A = this chain, B = another copy of it.
Amino acid sequence: MKFDLDRTTEILKQTPYTLMRMLDGLSPEWTRGSGDTENWAPYDVIGHLIYAEETDWIPRAEVILAQAENRSFTPFDRLAQFERSKGRTLDELLTEFAHIRNVNLEKLFGFELTDQKLESKAEHPALGEVTLAQLLSTWTVHDLNHIRQIVVWMAKQYDEAVGPWKEYLSILK
């Protein structure tokens, strides 16, 4: 599928509510890890999604749209949530994620994006030249990627409990 702004926002709007529905009322065994920075539990993922809303997608879209002389992105701290989420409940994080996502979607609509604006470019610190349409596509796929990460982590909690069926469950491999 080619990039399409309406198709993109369909998913971006949904993600916080999908995650609320998925994680609502679950015992901490399904959502909280030991703080392992290389194996994020659902709680850690939600913190990461909030931080990305604050520092990544819309700020980078603004860098691209500004069309200033120096259009380069600030590097992203992929472990920031381990400090920033401290002491917060999962419910609080989910609510905050929904709020900041909605604020950011309002900003996105406010850009009144045209095909021309969507092809505006900036310099990614490692990947080179990127367009606004690619950034917004990545925002969407990043959501799906982290939903995947959450269900994989949850499934692994039952890695042994499934017994011989493990062989048929690709998520445990």
CA distance in complex: A29, B130 (Å): 24
Bound complex: CA of A135 vs CA of B164, how far in Å?
10
Chain B residue at smallest Cβ distance from A22: B18
Is A100 in contact with chain B by the CB < 8 A criterion?
no
Q: Does A80 contact B (CB under 8 A)?
A: no
Residues of B within 8 Å of A140, CB to CB, are: 158
Closest to A3 in B: B161
**Judging by beta carbons under 8 Å apart, are A147 and B151 in contact?**
yes
The answer for the CA separation of A6 and B127 in the assembled complex, in Å, is 46
**Smallest Cβ distance from A98 to chain B, in angstroms?**
12
Partner of A27, one of B7, B129, B152: B7
Surface stretch bound by B, among A9-17, A86-94, A106-114: A9-17
Question: Which chain B positions have C-beta within 8 A of A134?
Answer: 161-165
Which residues does A use to contact B, with CB under 8 Å? 1-4, 6-7, 10-11, 14, 17-18, 20-22, 24-27, 29-30, 124, 127-131, 133-135, 137-138, 140-142, 144-145, 147-148, 151-152, 154-155, 157-158, 160-165, 167-172
8 A-B residue contacts at CB 8 Å?
A130-B164, A134-B164, A138-B163, A144-B152, A144-B154, A145-B155, A147-B151, A148-B155
